[in-house]
Structure 1
Amino acid sequence: MDGVAGRSSHQRPTVLVTNDDGIDAPGLRALVRALVSADRYRVRVCAPDSEKSAVSHSITWRHPIAVKQVDVSGAEAFAVSGTPADCTSLGISNAIFSSVPDLVLSGINKGSNCGYHTVYSGTVAGAREAFFNGVPSVSMSYDCIAFEDYTLAAEACLPIIGAILDKIRNHSYPNGSFLNVDLPTDIANHKGYKLTEQGRSFFVMGWRLVSSETQGGQMLSTMTMDKDVAELPDMDASTMSAEHRLFKREVRKSLVDDNDMDHQSLQEGYITVTPLGGLSPAEKEFQAFFKDWLPSLSARPCSSAL
């Protein structure tokens, strides 16, 4: 890890903060305040200029992204028009900062990121991108309700951040994974840290037909402007113009395995700490199935010959 070119040589460790809720999100601001108040770190921020929730690990490829320096007290900060993965990549690249950070922190996200939800999460992707590039990282999410104060959540993250940086300084921090941390709703009375494994919790999503306010014949509502959208559960899609139909995602049900360590432990009040990697290998039983199945394909005629 310490062989990464351009790694910070400052006496104080350098921490880069990003997120997917946007640079003005209360979770990010609370985390930055906690880091600055600790007076132990050099703090940088490179985060999306607007909300980029659930964009997963998407990156901007074909077009340039805009970067603007912004005022974040105690930190050197930039708002970026790209995704969380873009922000991390840019922040560790030496393009806008003078050195590579010692640690990347992504969060604190509004809402938990357990189980399969880590695949959708831009917050997790912000940490994963650092991991891909050999920089230690942690994604952090708070299972909050409505508009919670993130101050206690941020303070609860400081011990693990400090411990990681101590290990990095001693050249003893492992480089084979990154950490996904979830903070329970009742953070003031949490039960401590608990090492967990990624489970299979998942929201089954559906689609609801919605209407849109119009003005001058133009539709005002888009995927990013849903304040003007009203749900119409009984609308018949066949009676609406195909050009003007809008559909909005909704949660139909939650699938949670009782053996899911991360989700279950979070609900029990623990701060869950889940090591994640960059690969998603299938379980051994499925590897065995396809090992037997694949050779049989050679005996089948090609579909184009049928």
Structure 2
Amino acid sequence: MFRILVTNDDGIDALGIKRLTEALLTLEGAEIYVVAPVEEKSGVGHGVTYRSALAPEKHDFYGLPVKAWAVNGNPADCVKSAYYLLFEDGHKPDIVFSGINVGTNLGRDIYYSGTCSGAREAVLLGIPGIALSYDNWFDQENYGDVVQMIQPLVSEFREKAEKRELPPNVFWNINIPHVPLNQIKGIVPATLSLHHYEDKYNEEAEGYFLTREYPEVMPLAEPLDYDLVKHGYIAVTPVHIDATDREFLQEMGEWSFVKEWGKRED
């Protein structure tokens, strides 16, 4: 039996995680478990809970044929809980899907996103992890044709995970445009668009609230995830969790403090 773990950052009662689970239930021979935050945890990054106790509780999940738990923690806590606490038979998840998030997680969003942290935590534990986000921030109750859109994606990731063909230390960040299925232009490997918005703080009575300003949609010139989604493509980005700049590591050998202090004898 192929065991799939589903999590998110919008909370276990969110519509997006239901849609993701519906797509996964079409996979033959899959055993689905849902472990998600009891409440919304958007923007928590890769935060983990250690100053208070986690208490996973069984949860009815839309009447679907899955086993589900709600966790009083963050998405990374949910994946950790599933891995260390919830599977008494010792069979760990074979793959983790996180989402479907309300709104995109593009470019540097991967560092803030709880959705991405669920997939990243899976990879840290040696399990393939896939994060999915949908560009419906301004139409949050409408998931359109997203189930049909992601079926070929989840099917191929499941197949590659079974064959152990997915690279280690990589999670996959998938962003889906909010258009009808017949308007999807393709599914494209994408790079991160690290500078596609500017942070702004708006002053209100309670203080300052963080907002973003996005550029006008420009002609598609590079395979950047933001541009691809805005032009109607599903963007799929492999994100390596080892952020070491190995090329520059060699150059640092010429820095003065390395030469003087780098290799001192005991």
What is the TM-score when the length of structure 2 is the normalising length? 0.85
TM alignment of 1:124-273, pairs within 5 A: 124-144=116-136, 145-150=138-143, 152-188=145-181, 189-211=183-205, 246-252=207-213, 259=222, 261-273=224-236
Q: Distance in 1 between matches of 2:32 and 2:76?
A: 19
C-alpha displacement at 1:140, in angstroms? Answer: 0.4
TM alignment of 1:21-60, pairs within 5 A: 21-60=10-49
Q: Distance in 2 between matches of 1:54 and 1:146?
A: 19
Q: Distance in 2 between matches of 1:192 and 1:252?
A: 27
Q: Is the radius of gyration larger for structure 1 or structure 2? A: 1
SS of 1:147's equivalent in the other structure is: coil
C-alpha displacement at 1:288, in angstroms? Answer: 7.0
Question: Is the contact between residue 144 and residue 180 of structure 2 (CA under 8 Å) also seen in structure 1?
Answer: no
SS of 1:46's equivalent in the other structure is: strand
Number of aligned residue pairs: 253
Q: 1:172 to 1:280 in 2, by over 3 A?
A: closer
Q: Distance in 2 between matches of 1:254 and 1:294?
A: 42
SS of 1:92's equivalent in the other structure is: helix
| Of 71-80 and 95-104, the range deviating more from structure 2 | 95-104
Q: Distance in 2 between matches of 1:172 and 1:297?
A: 41
Residue 99 (structure 2) pairs with residue 107 (structure 1): yes
Q: 1:70 to 1:251 in 2, by over 3 A?
A: same
SS of 1:249's equivalent in the other structure is: strand
C-alpha displacement at 1:277, in angstroms? Answer: 1.4
Q: 1:111 to 1:170 in 2, by over 3 A?
A: same
SS of 2:77's equivalent in the other structure is: helix
Q: 1:170 to 1:253 in 2, by over 3 A?
A: closer
| 1:87 aligned residue | 78
SS of 2:225's equivalent in the other structure is: helix
C-alpha displacement at 1:106, in angstroms? Answer: 0.3
Quote the RMSD (CA, aligned, Å).
Answer: 2.7
User: Percent sequence identity over matched residues?
Assistant: 31
| Matched residue type, 2:80 | S
Q: Distance in 2 between matches of 1:23 and 1:294?
A: 52
Structure 1: segments with no counterpart, 5+ residues:
1-9, 212-244, 299-306
Question: Is the contact between residue 134 and residue 175 of structure 1 (CA under 8 Å) also seen in structure 2?
Answer: yes
SS of 2:154's equivalent in the other structure is: helix
| Matched residue type, 1:248 | F
Q: Distance in 2 between matches of 1:110 and 1:196?
A: 20
| Of 45-54 and 275-284, the range deviating more from structure 2 | 275-284
| Matched residue type, 2:48 | I
What is the TM-score when the length of structure 1 is the normalising length? 0.74
User: What are the superposed Cα offsets for residues 231-290 of structure 1, whole Å, 9 maximum, x if unpaired?
Assistant: xxxxxxxxxxxxxx5322222455999646221222221111110111223484x65775
| 2:263 aligned residue | none
